[in-house]
Amino acid sequence: MKNVYKTKNTCSSSIEFELDNGIVKNVKFNGGCMGNTQGVAALVEGMSADEVIKRCKNIQCGFRGTSCPDQLAKALEAALAK
């Protein structure tokens, strides 16, 4: 099932992704630093949501208090809580 998460305090405006039995697939950041967000999306493809959360949660981008990887972790946590 496709999930869309509206990001907060990042250059990206939202993240689209799918979860298939806890496995992360088809991640797409809308906006943000294209190379970085495409890299993050490629690296987490096929990884368990729990592992992505563990690796990406609390990563900071400057003084924003969050980052695109951190927002992905929050998006996955919200999707798993459903």
> How is residue 57 annotated by DSSP?
T
Which domains, from first to last, does the chain contain? 2-81 (3.90.1010)
Q: Is the pTM of this model over 0.85?
A: yes
Q: What is the mean pLDDT of residues 48-68?
A: 97
Give the pLDDT of residue 68.
Answer: 97
pLDDT, residue 2, reads 94
pLDDT, residue 12, reads 97
Contact between 54 and 77 (Cβ < 8 Å) = no
Q: Is the pLDDT of residue 54 over 90?
A: yes
1 — pLDDT class (breaks 50, 70, 90): confident
Kindly indicate the confidence band of residue 11, based on its pLDDT and cuts at 50, 70 and 90.
very high
- The structure tokens 């927002």 sit at 71
